[in-house]
Amino acid sequence: MNSVLLVRLAFDLSAAGLLLFGFTYWWLGNTAHELAGTAMFLLLIVHNLFNRRFYGTIGKTRRTMRPLFNVAVTLALLVAMVVLLVTSVLISEALSAVMSSFGGFAVRQIHTLAAYWALVIVAVHLGLRWPMIMSITRALFGISKPNAVRAWVLRLIALAIAIHGVWSSFELGLSGKLTMQVSLDWWNFEKSVIGFFVHCVAIAGLCTAVTYYALKWQQLRKRTTRTA
């Protein structure tokens, strides 16, 4: 097992965790939020340095569904993260001591909009990499042979997470968050902290599963039309 790849995945997992942590502004407050966001951006800079070769190959991308979708998702993620970073600087309370703050209500709204889109797009980005993540997980657990029962158990778990994800997207008012509708309906962290994380992970799981199975289905369809 390539140890550099494992370190990279540990960084990726930490960045995903910090992104989720960022949604808990009303639980832990501004300082924790700004520290988590800064750490996430530093990890994402490292992530992009590791993957820098990808950008040089965009012009040579095969004109087929999966590679083109991969490029589109990566560029959408780049836009969401740049918007998140720029608006973070504009509304930062820590930076307001050294520069004048430009953060009005609209900038905060755009910041929240970019954050929820980042959650969805990161999950799609992970769905595109799911075969690789699963093959590394199999290697870590020393699994070398396919097993139908294991595969079906995992599929049923994915289905349960996806169904939970649909419910969670209503519970968190996701469609309103992704369309920048103003709402004062924040999650009540006094009621439950873990419940909020479960909803966020389920929404991400839903997007990852839909991406993974849609691409798998598209691949199968291509194979059957080729052999027909």
Under 8 Å between Cβ of 35 and 94 = no
* Contact call for residues 159 and 206 (beta carbons, < 8 A): no
CA distance 101 to 117: 24
Report if residue 15 touches ligand HEM, rule: CB under 6 A: yes
Residue ranges in 87-146 that form contacts with ligand HEM under rule CB under 6 A: 122, 125-126, 129
> Taking CB under 6 A as the rule, does residue 54 contact ligand HEM?
yes
Q: Tokens for 37?
A: 């966001």
Please measure the distance between the N-terminal and C-terminal CA atoms of the chain and give it in whole angstroms. Answer: 39
Q: How far is the CB of 99 from ligand HEM (least distance, A)?
A: 25
- CB-nearer residue toward ligand HEM: 8 or 198: 8
CA distance 148 to 114: 40
Contact region for ligand HEM (CB under 6 A) — 24-32, 77-85, 98-106, 179-187?
77-85
Nearest Cα residue to 210 out of 218, 221, 200: 218
Q: According to the binding rule CB under 6 A, does residue 202 interact with ligand HEM?
A: no
Amino acid letter, residue 55: Y
- Minimum CB–partner distance for residue 205 and ligand HEM (Å): 13
- The verdict on 204 binding ligand HEM (CB under 6 A) reads no
CB of 14 to ligand HEM, least distance (A): 9
Residues 147-162: b if buried by 16+ CB within 10 A, e if exposed:
eeeeeeeeeeebeebb
Please, what is the minimum distance in Å from the beta carbon of residue 56 to ligand HEM? 11
Minimum Å gap between C-beta 70 and ligand HEM is 5
Smallest distance from ligand HEM to CB 67, Å? 8
Please write down the long-range contacts of 74-79, taking CB distance under 8 Å and 24 or more positions apart.
Answer: 74/125, 76/117, 76/121, 77/118, 77/121, 77/122, 77/125
Smaller CB distance to ligand HEM: residue 4 or 184?
4
Residues near ligand HEM (CB under 6 A): 8-9, 12, 15-16, 19, 44, 47-48, 50-51, 54, 70, 74, 77-78, 81, 122, 125-126, 129
